[in-house]
């Protein structure tokens, strides 16, 4: 079997502040180490359950260059760097049997939740068919487009609840209880890793009980952007138009893969400063 492990940083045990997740901040190296260690725990669990599994790890935080390659379990393949196809889920294809989301965070507006956001601070909300989806929902649906279930998620308690709302039969590991945007009660990192390894075994062995989360097209998508000038840029994309309100754009996607790619493009456009 093939398993894709997508690893973000905000939902890693012990991490609560941007100083631990941003490359230009003082505690980032510590965050990288914690992130890599939790990825290794999940890899170990997958291979304990399925010793012959092909395991891919997609570095899915910020610059996509956070996992320490020399410290990652040598039995896994690492996907790193950007831009790249499918963003946080690079490595996903029709041969992938299961996806695991490690160190994930709740959507923008969710909470209390540690470092909650959706793709970037420029995105206030993404709605597909009227349903608000954060990074968890967008990636679960993208996996579902390939017919692949998301069988495991780790993060704070709010992130775990977000997945359970979409995929009730998935395994979740709450490595911390959110107290706010930059505060939590966290498990000791070693305790978190032990629980992650056990959960990965459970998720792999029980994967047949988890159905893919599928959103069939055509799909009506709305994206709320932080700044009005971001709306000006977004409407330069063919098919994207202004919606009601000064911060919202809308488009129709033929399927979820198209919706996902357009959202990724809007995130990049929103990073352009007016000038």
Catalytic residues, by residue number, are 117
Q: Which residue has the tokens 């079997």?
A: 1
Give 265's Cβ-side CA count (13 Å radius).
17
Q: Exposed (0-12), middle (13-18) or buried (19+): which is 240, by Cβ within 10 Å?
A: buried
Neighbour tally for 275: CB within 10 Å = 4
Residues 6+ apart with CB under 8 A from 266: 123, 223, 225, 234, 237, 240, 249
Q: Under DSSP, is residue 166 helix (H, G, I), strand (E, B) or coil?
A: helix
Q: Which two tokens stand for residue 17?
A: 């502040």
In this structure, the dihedral spanned by the alpha carbons of residues 122, 127, 131 and 133, taken in order and rounded to 10 degrees, is -40
Report the relative pairing of strands 241-242 and 248-253 from DSSP bridges. antiparallel
Q: Under DSSP, is residue 5 helix (H, G, I), strand (E, B) or coil?
A: strand
What's the rounded Cα separation, in Å, for the pair 250 and 224? 9
Residue 176's closest CA among 189, 164, 162?
A: 189
Neighbour tally for 31: CB within 10 Å = 25
């Amino acid at each position: 079997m093939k398993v894709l492990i997508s690893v973000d940083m905000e939902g890693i045990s012990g991490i609560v502040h941007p100083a631990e997740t941003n490359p230009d901040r003082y505690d980032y190296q510590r965050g990288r180490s914690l992130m890599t260690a939790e990825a290794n725990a999940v890899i170990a669990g997958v291979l304990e359950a399925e010793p012959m599994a092909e395991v891919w790890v997609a570095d899915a935080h910020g610059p996509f260059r956070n996992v320490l390659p020399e410290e990652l379990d040598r039995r896994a393949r690492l996907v790193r760097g950007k831009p790249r196809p499918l963003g946080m889920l690079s490595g996903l294809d029709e041969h992938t049997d299961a996806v695991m989301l490690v160190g994930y965070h709740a959507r923008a507006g969710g909470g209390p939740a540690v470092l909650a956001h959706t793709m970037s601070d420029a995105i206030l909300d993404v709605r597909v068919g009227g349903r608000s989806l954060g990074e968890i929902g967008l990636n679960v649906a993208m996996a579902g487009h390939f017919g692949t279930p998301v069988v495991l998620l780790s993060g704070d308690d709010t992130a775990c609840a977000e997945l359970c709302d979409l995929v009730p039969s998935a395994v979740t590991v709450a490595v911390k209880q959110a107290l706010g945007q930059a505060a939590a009660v966290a498990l000791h990192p070693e305790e978190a890793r032990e629980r992650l390894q056990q959960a990965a075994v459970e998720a792999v062995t029980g994967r047949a009980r988890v159905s893919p989360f599928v959103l069939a097209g055509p799909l009506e998508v709305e994206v709320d952007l932080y700044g009005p000038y971001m709306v000006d840029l977004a409407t330069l994309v063919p098919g994207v138009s202004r919606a009601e309100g000064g911060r919202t754009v809308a488009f129709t996607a033929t399927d979820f893969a198209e919706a996902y790619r357009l959202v990724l493009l809007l995130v990049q456009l929103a990073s352009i400063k007016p000038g």
